[in-house]
Amino acid sequence: MGELYFDVGYEDKIPPDQKEAFKWFSLAAKNGMSVAYPSLGLIYETPEDSNQQPDYQSAALCFSKAARGGDREAADSLIRLYGADKIDDRLNIDFEQILIEGANKSIKDGSHSSFGHALYAAFPFALRDLYEKGNYVPQSYEKAAYWYRQAAKLVDIDYPFV
């Protein structure tokens, strides 16, 4: 039901209504439907009401739940929030584990793909940044270099300097 109200509505019969979409996505999530989490995350991140501030922490939690379920777009959204420094450290999101799972899947999927390698490299590049900066994990240039090499293989770039 949430999709009927989310973003563009449904034909001319149902206009977009973010509050109604939120109600239905929340109900779906409470009933164990993980497919609702990415949309909930987007609503938290970009509220339709101009008087309402984005809730990046709730968005990150929703995206992390979806990413753990294998949703690549939700993981990309989580990476984007992380890269924009919008996520509070106190959330205790296990970025490392989420990104490692995504990176390993990306490496597996990307090695069999003849297109879209840059998409598959997003996870390894995010891990490189995570370890290089030491945000959310202990800083490790060795691990950063490892993930950079994995990403570089996916996008066919030369990496002898790593």
For the chain, the domains span 1-93, 94-156
d(CA 67, CA 74) in angstroms, rounded, equals 5
d(CA 112, CA 14) in angstroms, rounded, equals 42
pLDDT at 126 (0 to 100): 81
pLDDT at 121 (0 to 100): 77
pLDDT at 14 (0 to 100): 63
d(CA 102, CA 98) in angstroms, rounded, equals 6
pLDDT at 45 (0 to 100): 92
d(CA 139, CA 89) in angstroms, rounded, equals 15
**Selection from 32, 33, 90, 35 nearest residue 60 by Cα:** 90
Q: What is the pTM (predicted TM-score) of this model?
A: 0.66
Q: Which of helix, strand or coil describes residue 14?
A: strand
d(CA 155, CA 3) in angstroms, rounded, equals 34
Q: Which residues of the chain have pLDDT under 50?
A: 9, 114-115, 162
Asked if 6 contacts 22 with a C-beta cutoff of 8 angstroms, the reply is no
